[in-house]
Every structure is written in C-alpha cells, then in structure tokens.
Amino acid sequence: MQKQDLKSKNLTELSGICSQLDLSKFKAKEIFKFIHQKAKTSIDDFTTIKLTERNQLKELFYISAIAPLKTEKAKDVLKIAFELGDGKVIETVFMDYGKDRKTLCISSQVGCPIGCQFCATGKMGFKRDLTVSEILSQVYFFAKDHKISNIVFMGMGEPLLNFDNVMAAAKTLNNESGLNIASRKIVISTIGIIEGIKKFAGESKQLRLAWSLVSPFDEVRKKLIGHKGLPTISETVAALKDYQNKTKRRITIEYVLLKEVNDSENDQQQLVKISKNLDCHINLIPYNSTGPNYIGGDVDKFRSSLKKIDPNINVTIRKSLGQDISAACGQLSSTN
Ligand code: SAH
Ligand code: SF4
C-alpha cells in the first residue's frame, strides 16, 4: 500500500488514525503539534511518541517536505524557489516590514490559469494546483527562522480555483496547536471567482478577502485579464455584497496601476463608484515590471485624485518590496 502524507491530515483525521492504530487519542494533538508547530519532517522526531508506535506510523505514513532550490535576498525580502516532488517549481516571498509585521506571500498553484497580461505568473500558464501539504510546507520552511505574523495568498496562482486545499491549509495555519496565526491576518487574494466567493461566504473563520479589480471597466478588464470565464464587475460586486451581508467583513480592492491603461479621470470616477457599493478599503499597487508592455502609473497622484472625488475614501498604497530580485507582486514565475 502506498504511504500517505501525515502533513495533509487535519486534527480530526489524525484522531481517526490514532484510534485505528490503537494509540491514545491525545497523541493526535501531539502529532499535529510536531508537524504543524515544530515543523518536523521525520516521524523519528516525534519524541513523546513511543518507538513502537512511531514504527507503526512509519509503516503507513511519511511527512512530505519541499526542497529549497534557490534563495535570493534583498533589503527586508527573501525569495525562495522550491522544488516540489514532481520537479515543478514555485516561489514564496518573505517580507519583513519591521516591528511585529512579518508577512509571507505564498503560492496556491504552479502557474495560473487566468493569464493576466501584466503578471509574470499569468504568462507562464497553468501547471497544477498545490496540495495542502505543499501550501503548508512553504510556511513551515520560513517559520523555522522567523515569527510570521501575516499570510497572504498573493503568490503564484488563483487561490479560489484551488479552494479546498487553500481553505484546509488556512485552517491548519490558524489552529492553536499549529502556528496559531490569527485568521484575520490571513488574506486570500482573488481575481474574482464567483463560485469561490460564495463558498468563502459560508466559512466560519474570519479570513480576509481581497479582490483584484484591475480596471473598473469590463471591456478593459477583460482584455487585461484574458480569462474566458471571467464574470462581469457587477456580477462580482453582487457576490461580494452577499459575502459581506453574511460575514460583515470589510474587503480590500486591489488595484495595480498601469499608465494610460487604468489611471484616467474616468477610471478614478468609476473606481470610486464601485467602491461605494461595498464596505472596502482600496489598496493601490505600484506596477512591478514584468516586460516592456506596461509602465506603472503615478500612485501618489492617483490616490490624491481619489481623495478629491471622495474625501472619506479609504485608500492606501502598497509598499512593494523586492523588485530588484523579482519578488514583488506579479513577478513570481518559474520555467518548470
Ligand atoms: N491571483 C490572485 C493572487 C495573486 S496576484 C489575484 O490576482 O488576486 C496578487 C496581486 O498582484 C493582484 O492584486 C494582482 O493584480 C497584482 N499584480 C499582478 N501582476 C502585477 C504586477 N506586475 N505589478 C504589480 N502588481 C501585480
Ligand atoms: Fe493569476 Fe493573479 Fe497573476 Fe492574474 S494576477 S495571472 S489571477 S496570479
């Protein structure tokens, strides 16, 4: 029989495994802690579990890990490319914003099926979804050396197209016997997948949602994003409103600013209009270069203009780190 990966099992599943193997129930929590809090990747390291019991576990299970291939460092940023079991490669970025804010930007897929023109991940196409373990392993690798306060699903891929694995990983990261990362400090960033937003609305956790609007006009947005099944802005806003009615949670509208593409006065007016339909905060993202086709817009000017239209609007500018090592938003990619 093929061995199974213990890292992908949640606490309830581990309890089931323990009872099958005649191990006492409280050992499930110990095993969970070894894997998800202490980042152990060998069953031999389960020091509080008896040797005979460890051997029993080893016959049926293993613990997966991902291998760091390449590390790149810049000021306050660390980017690591990891090789997965099948040779595919993903990237993960650690950002140190000082004080207690240390953010890990993780990947949810190898490549991305959405194919946005301005995004390096979009240009590489879609290879496959990441497993729960592969998502968690990115975090545990960095957690060995850093106290991570925030997790953002803003690396490679569209997290709501890998919904079950992303949610299972987020819940494990939030578990108090794991890294215990507050759910409101875990952000899922989406291009706007209606089915995913609906399912997300049914989740009890306080996880946060960010929507990448890209352009406030459907024709421009469709051209930039290129995905055939992309819902319209009004369909997405309706789904987000339902989500907010259910959860009462504020969302973020992410807006990557592209010169002469989505930075006109019309864009500003329309963006303000859309934002008034939602309980939201706008986060302007300076464009990070991914090729010669686009140039970044002036984010400071754009922000002031939004404020002139609506002085009460809540708008911030994302502090992008790591452009010099291609570790900033939209720059992650791999050839494998
Ligand atoms: N697929 C998800 C999450 C990953 S992208 C999504 O699109 O939301 C995370 C953010 O990076 C998105 O808001 C996206 O619009 C932005 N982004 C993509 N390419 C970029 C680039 N070249 N420069 C700046 N931001 C970019
Ligand atoms: Fe995919 Fe997001 Fe990049 Fe678009 S911006 S290609 S949805 S990762």
Helix (H, G, I), strand (E, B) or coil at 258: strand
Closest CA to 125 of 271, 335, 294, 295: 335
**pLDDT per position as a tens digit, 135-147:** 999 999 999 999 9
> Are both 41 and 122 inside the same structural domain?
no
Specify whether 329 is catalytic. Answer: yes
> Are both 207 and 84 inside the same structural domain?
yes
> Are both 95 and 73 inside the same structural domain?
yes
Cβ 80 vs Cβ 99: under 8 Å? no
Q: Which of 18, 119, 280, 329 is catalytic?
A: 329
Distance CA 331, CA 239 (A): 29
Ligand nearest to the CA of 158: 1
Determine, yes or no, domain membership for 300: yes
The total domain count for the chain is: 2
Q: Using most ligand atoms within 8 A of CB, pick from 189, 240, 252 the residue to mutate for ligand 1.
A: 189
Domain edge (last residue) among 62, 78, 95: 62
Q: Note the pLDDT of residue 328.
A: 85
> Are both 134 and 20 inside the same structural domain?
no
For residue 330, give the ligand 2 atom closest to its CA: 3
> Are both 299 and 179 inside the same structural domain?
yes
How far CA 277 is from CA of 230, 231, 264, 313, in Å, comes to 20, 17, 21, 12
CA of 253 to the centre of ligand 2 (A): 15
Over residues 99-119, mean pLDDT: 96
> Are both 33 and 104 inside the same structural domain?
no
How far CA 189 is from CA of 158, 249, 251, in Å, comes to 8, 14, 10
CA of 155 to the centre of ligand 1 (A): 8
Distance CA 14, CA 178 (A): 14
Strands 61-62 and 126-129, by their bridges, are unpaired
Q: Which of 91, 134, 158, 203 is catalytic?
A: 91
Which structural domain range is residue 25 located in? Answer: 4-62
Confidence at 153, pLDDT banded by 50, 70, 90: very high
Distance CA 31, CA 9 (A): 10
> Are both 145 and 48 inside the same structural domain?
no
Determine, yes or no, domain membership for 336: no
The CATH number of whichever domain residue 36 belongs to comes to 1.10.150.530
How far CA 233 is from CA of 158, 204, 274, 321, in Å, comes to 17, 26, 9, 29
CA of 330 to the centre of ligand 1 (A): 5
Find out whether the beta carbon of 166 lies less than 6 Å from any atom of ligand 1: no
Q: Note the pLDDT of residue 320.
A: 80
Distance CA 167, CA 148 (A): 18
- Is the Cα torsion angle 201, 131, 193, 207 positive or negative in sign? positive
Cβ 305 vs Cβ 61: under 8 Å? no
Domain edge (last residue) among 28, 43, 62: 62
Ligand nearest to the CA of 289: 1
Determine, yes or no, domain membership for 270: yes
Specify whether 30 is catalytic. Answer: no
> Are both 124 and 141 inside the same structural domain?
yes
> Are both 22 and 110 inside the same structural domain?
no
Determine, yes or no, domain membership for 10: yes
Other beta carbons within 10 angstroms of residue 201's beta carbon come to 17
**pLDDT per position as a tens digit, 243-296:** 999 999 999 999 999 999 999 999 999 999 999 999 999 999 999 999 999 999
**pLDDT per position as a tens digit, 18-76:** 999 999 889 999 999 999 999 999 999 999 999 999 999 999 999 999 999 999 999 99
> Are both 92 and 138 inside the same structural domain?
yes
Which residue is associated with the tokens 């190898």? 110
> Are both 241 and 99 inside the same structural domain?
yes
Find out whether the beta carbon of 154 lies less than 6 Å from any atom of ligand 1: yes
> Are both 74 and 51 inside the same structural domain?
no
Closest CA to 275 of 304, 307, 231, 318: 307
Determine, yes or no, domain membership for 334: no
